[in-house]
Structure 1
């Protein structure tokens, strides 16, 4: 099951699932009382009890704060009465404690109301997130998968990163990408691309046709937002489109729209797949065509690792970038069993957060997949009487490189060292 995680802080003052927010005000109250009784009449601090409901207002609920306000007044009267008339704090401090308790209760009510509004907004964001990034069943489309999405905007929890797996008659297709920019505009563009991918990835026979549909959808989305008078008419998206052909279990087809190159991680080391030799989605007119299709080998014990620029652009305190391939190769060298998708994603996630000190400058997606042993029948989403067929490309004369050149079969260009980009463990 794909995991979605956010940069949320764990609630403070919780132990074993129970809140102990009531404890600090109580300890403060007891400390003030004991100190006031233990000191001489020249150092009276009983009026400090006004701090107790103030602390409660910051961390407790309304009724708990109100209870501490009443308790503070009662305690003040009891402690002050223990002194002789000459050393009592008097009516002025009593009014201070009573008024402070009333204001603290009001402040707690305002805070709780604001927190409920924030929770409501988070529920809306969660619904939006589930609409854009739908949950993926285990071994969906015959792929073991694991993923982590870390939103740079902790409160919104939705950004421009997107991914999905779409089984179909031609095999299983995978899309991972990142929309340029932030905010709702980026979310809308991601939703538009994912909707097109889910339909085209299932129905279209050729991967190049799926790529064309994605490019067209990005252009249509930009024209629509421009017509609405919004200033995101130049928005684009980097992405990696991958197909796992049903009739070729040892290879995969890849189209890279200017995205971070995926890594293939296995017991024999780490190798980098073809880089983003194409332009991002929405900018194909600048390159006079779509990126080519590369066919690359993928062994049964190898895992495909895809990330967005939140990983590769993570910096440490000195400003140095996170070296993903090097760190993954080091982890695989230390533990060859760490190539399993869930373990690999967790290692990368922990490494990025540790390297950057938990300060994410951009939304971060880490996604890993590998072929499962078998493909469950119901998860292929095939219609009645339809079986898997080959994921064929367009006819002769097209720009696809699938199976056309030996270099593409190796995941490299002709004349290129096949070991280039491989980091041995």
Structure 2
């Protein structure tokens, strides 16, 4: 795009001598300022405008061009072309200034979004004891970078606690709700010895926040979540599911859903049922992987409208370490959805290495 004005002028100079007198190609130089405004700032557009007027005058006053015997430097048609070029140049300068301002504003917004994402969805540690962790996040709005899907991994005295959630709705309210949920989880994960009590405490925090916000949609501000816990002294994983797609257990030759059919309501809706949270326990052996994800993955559609076949894909890929697994999932999702994410997507993959104490010490990822 930056070389487009040069190519445009080169084309005019190449065609002008080859056309009849009645076809003055130099008139198309009127558009040069607008062509320049696509990729350059107002100063360059102003310079291109002056250059276009001068070049039009040179071509009009050169007798040899297009077989002319005399020049037409001050012919009324050419004078009109000079005036039109100047007016178009003024318009192009304004447009270039506006475009440059918008690009700077967008760059600032993206920078702020990146900072917000680092705070809200900070990278999970790549290694906690004998656990290997990787995360994936895709925003449906390319310029937003963050949305209502969330994940977290917290090493605690009770083991490594994991969270994946999906906030109902879009926009700033969803981001604010995700921030409140993550803050409540990060604080309570260190205090509550029982996973069900942790889920209940986060539910209480979200209910309190919904009441403080008020408004007509208080009851609809709910979040589907999965809480998981991998203790440091046993080969098992505990799960509390709050209306979310069940986690997947991956081991050589097997991919299955961890779903005992006891899913609780989403957060902010649990008060409507009043039942205690259920903790489901599953074996988690060395070499196993746990994949927690949001429905942005399974609701991705291809050109025919078919949903993304997550389990089928995972079974066809075989055994992959967490990083390779999420990288392949990322590329496959983009290819399946034609490079247009249709919803926010988050995923967290956790692999268990050979036996060593799964201590809560963590090494942060880059």
Q: TM above 0.5, one fold?
A: yes
Q: Would you say 1:366 and 2:347 are equivalent positions?
A: yes
Aligned equivalents of 1:110, 1:234: Cα separation in 2: 40
The 1:353–1:135 alpha-carbon spacing in structure 2 relative to 1, beyond 3 Å, is same
Deviation at 1:365, TM superposition (A): 1.2
Deviation at 1:262, TM superposition (A): 1.2
- Partner residue, 2:108: 120
- Partner residue, 2:142: 154
Matched-pair contact (CA < 8 Å) for 2:128–2:360: no
- Partner residue, 2:29: 49
- Partner residue, 1:246: 232
The 1:236–1:137 alpha-carbon spacing in structure 2 relative to 1, beyond 3 Å, is same
Q: Would you say 1:85 and 2:66 are equivalent positions?
A: no
Q: Would you say 1:379 and 2:365 are equivalent positions?
A: no
Aligned equivalents of 2:326, 2:93: Cα separation in 1: 46
Q: Would you say 1:267 and 2:252 are equivalent positions?
A: yes
Deviation at 1:377, TM superposition (A): 7.3
The 1:140–1:187 alpha-carbon spacing in structure 2 relative to 1, beyond 3 Å, is farther
Correspondence 1:11-410 to 2 at 5 A: 21-83=1-63, 84-85=70-71, 89-140=77-128, 142-226=130-214, 229=215, 231-248=217-234, 250-274=235-259, 277-332=263-318, 336=319, 339-372=320-353, 378-379=361-362
SS in 1 for 2:190: helix
Matched-pair contact (CA < 8 Å) for 2:128–2:361: no
The 1:37–1:55 alpha-carbon spacing in structure 2 relative to 1, beyond 3 Å, is same
Matched-pair contact (CA < 8 Å) for 2:129–2:360: no
Aligned equivalents of 1:241, 1:377: Cα separation in 2: 17
Aligned equivalents of 2:181, 2:198: Cα separation in 1: 11
- Gapped regions of structure 2 (runs ≥ 5): 64-69
Deviation at 1:380, TM superposition (A): 8.4
SS in 1 for 2:38: helix
SS in 1 for 2:189: helix
Aligned equivalents of 1:98, 1:295: Cα separation in 2: 75
Matched-pair contact (CA < 8 Å) for 2:195–2:229: yes
Deviation at 1:51, TM superposition (A): 1.7
The 1:379–1:40 alpha-carbon spacing in structure 2 relative to 1, beyond 3 Å, is same
Matched-pair contact (CA < 8 Å) for 2:159–2:359: no
Matched-pair contact (CA < 8 Å) for 1:266–1:301: yes
Aligned equivalents of 2:216, 2:41: Cα separation in 1: 42
Deviation at 1:76, TM superposition (A): 1.7
Q: Deviations over 1:209-266 (max 9, x none)?
A: 111111111211111111xx46344211111101110111x21111111111111122
Aligned positions, number: 353
Q: Deviations over 1:113-165 (max 9, x none)?
A: 12212222222322322221123333146532222211112222221101111
Matched-pair contact (CA < 8 Å) for 1:47–1:76: yes
Aligned equivalents of 2:270, 2:342: Cα separation in 1: 28
Aligned equivalents of 1:380, 1:109: Cα separation in 2: 47
Deviates more, 1:49-58 or 1:124-133: 124-133
SS in 2 for 1:203: coil
Deviation at 1:356, TM superposition (A): 1.9
The 1:86–1:192 alpha-carbon spacing in structure 2 relative to 1, beyond 3 Å, is closer
Q: TM-score, length-normalised on structure 2?
A: 0.90
Q: Deviations over 1:55-92 (max 9, x none)?
A: 11122223332332232222222222213235865211
SS in 1 for 2:362: helix
Matched-pair contact (CA < 8 Å) for 1:185–1:232: no
- Gapped regions of structure 1 (runs ≥ 5): 1-20, 382-425
SS in 2 for 1:242: strand
